[in-house]
Structures are given as structure tokens and as C-alpha cells.
């Protein structure tokens, strides 16, 4: 059974940093791309960042480019999202999701975590 | 403002058929990139409904179907049921952004 468990959310001040983790299990982790998607309060889904199965290729939305860094640790089957210079408009529930196709990017997202809430406020 | 445009809401009576449109451009849907559809209930994980324009993952009801033509795609729900009340999002890849994009979402209401 595929499982994705996000952690690391919480309250942070504007300008602060936070690192999200997504612990994955139940599939061949290194073969699939992983993605972070967020949903701000009252808003729709927004793609944030993606990483290839190998971790070599990374992708970012313009809104987070230069501030967020995605990475993965194959030995720990975990994906991370390092978030720096956080702003109020980064407040959202952050979901990690698994790519559907082995080795492919772009790819649909077939399994999602339950999400972790980030609140950026003073 | 999303690069993929969806109607904010659609509604229908139980048993009816509703469709949700997703309009893109030459840098995403029109460039040949696949469209995927997700169902999202507040407080839960989004669920993949349709991938690669018209394919249903295992376990998804055949009341859901997808299609794509030109720079647009659509999701159809037949035999509308109360449990279908949710937000629905289209998603594709955009070459100008070098990243994925979601539509703004459509709230389906069962009357």
C-alpha cells in the first residue's frame, strides 16, 4: 500500500524558514517523480515543485523559485521542501504527491498525502 | 489567474449529466500535453480521476469520463450522485513555465 506522510508544518514568521518532509512507502521510491502542491485558504490547488526519481532534475513554480528547494533522500524514501523567505501568501496546506508513471516527468499525481498546514504570520 | 480556465461552479440534479470545461492555450493543452483531472473534498487528499485525457485509474467509477480537443479538455460526470459534490481540478504541463499547472477548480453541487 502506497503511503505518503507529510510533516514539518506549523506557524512561522514572515521571512522565516521551514522544512517539510514527506515520508513515502509502498512503492519503488527512486523510480517515481514526487511533487509538492499547495492550497491556500479558500483557493484552489497550486503546483509548487517537482523532482525526478533520481533527484537530478527539479522544477519550481515562479512564485517559489529562488526561495524553495526540493530534494529527496532515496535511502530514507523521503522528499523534502526547504522553504526560505516565507511570506504571508505562502500560507497553505501543502500536499506531497507521487508521480503515476515510472521514470516519467511530467506525470499525473496518483497518490497524495493528507497535507500539512503552514501558516506564515507574525 | 490560472493558465487553465475552469467554470467556478456547475450543478445538476441527481442522475443528470454535468460537464466541466478546462480551457488552456498553445503552451499547455494545445501543445499536446496531457490533461489530468482530480476530485478534491475539503480536508482530504485530492484523488486522481482521469489521467492522460481520458483514462480512468483502477477503482474510479465509469461515470467519470474525460476528453480533449485542441486547447481544451472536459470532464463529464453521468448519473450524478450526492457523493460527487466536490471540487474538481484539471491539470496539465505548461512549456512556458516548465512546470505543471492546475485549473482554478470547479465546485460541483448536486441539487
Calculate how close chain B gets to A73, using CA atoms only, in Å. Answer: 22
pLDDT tens per residue, range A10-53 = 999 999 999 999 999 999 999 999 999 999 999 999 999 999 99
- Please report the pLDDT score of residue A41 as a whole number: 95
Longest dimension (CA), chain A: 42
Please tell me which of the candidates A46, A59, A108 has its beta carbon nearest to residue B51: A108
pLDDT digits (tens, 9 = 90+) for A74-100: 999 999 999 999 999 999 999 999 999
Instruction: Tell me the chain A residues in contact with residue B47 when contact means C-beta distances shorter than 8 Å.
Output: 112
For B40, name the nearest residue in chain A, comparing CA atoms only: A45
How many inter-chain contacts (A to B, CB under 8 Å) are there? 62
A25 within 8 A of A3, measured Cβ to Cβ: yes
CA distance from start to end of chain A: 40
Q: Does A40 touch chain B (CB under 8 A)?
A: no
A122 Cα to chain B: minimum distance (Å): 25
* pLDDT, position A77: 97
Contact across the interface for B45 and A114, Cβ inside 8 Å: yes
Please indicate whether, in this complex, the C-beta atoms of A46 and B47 are within 8 angstroms of each other.
no
For residue B9, what are the contacts with CB-CB under 8 A and spacing of at least 6?
A: B106, B107, B108, B109
Half-sphere exposure of A42 (CA within 13 A, CB side): 1
Grid coordinates representing A56 are: 537530478
The whole-number average pLDDT for the span B73-97 is: 97
Could you report the per-residue pLDDT of B25-70, keeping only the tens digit for each? 999 999 999 999 999 998 899 999 999 999 999 999 999 999 999 9
* Whole-number CA gyration radius for chain B: 13
| A110 min Cα distance to partner chain B (Å) | 6
Q: What Å distances lie between residue A114 and A121, B9, B24, CA to CA?
A: 23, 25, 29
Amino acid at each position: 500500500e502506497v503511503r505518503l506522510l507529510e510533516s514539518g508544518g506549523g506557524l512561522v514568521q514572515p521571512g522565516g524558514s521551514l522544512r517539510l518532509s514527506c515520508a513515502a512507502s509502498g512503492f519503488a521510491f527512486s523510480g517515481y517523480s514526487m511533487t509538492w502542491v499547495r492550497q491556500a485558504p479558500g483557493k484552489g490547488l497550486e503546483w509548487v515543485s517537482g523532482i525526478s526519481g533520481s533527484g537530478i532534475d527539479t522544477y519550481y513554480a515562479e512564485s517559489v523559485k529562488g526561495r524553495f528547494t526540493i530534494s529527496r533522500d532515496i535511502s530514507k524514501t523521503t522528499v523534502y521542501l526547504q522553504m526560505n523567505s516565507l511570506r504571508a501568501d505562502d500560507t497553505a496546506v501543502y500536499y506531497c504527491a507521487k508521480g503515476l508513471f515510472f521514470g516519467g516527468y511530467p506525470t499525473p499525481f496518483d497518490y497524495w498525502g493528507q497535507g500539512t498546514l503552514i501558516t506564515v504570520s507574525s | 489567474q490560472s493558465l487553465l480556465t475552469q467554470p467556478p461552479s456547475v450543478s445538476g440534479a441527481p442522475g443528470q449529466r454535468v460537464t466541466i470545461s478546462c480551457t488552456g492555450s498553445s503552451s499547455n493543452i494545445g501543445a499536446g500535453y496531457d490533461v489530468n483531472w482530480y476530485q478534491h473534498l475539503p480536508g482530504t487528499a485530492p484523488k486522481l480521476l482521469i489521467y492522460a485525457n481520458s483514462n480512468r485509474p483502477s477503482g474510479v467509477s465509469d461515470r467519470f469520463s474525460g476528453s480533449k480537443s485542441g486547447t481544451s479538455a472536459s470532464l463529464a460526470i453521468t448519473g450524478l450522485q450526492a457523493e460527487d459534490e466536490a471540487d474538481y481540478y484539471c491539470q496539465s504541463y505548461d512549456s512556458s513555465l516548465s512546470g505543471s499547472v492546475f485549473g482554478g477548480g470547479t465546485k460541483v453541487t448536486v441539487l
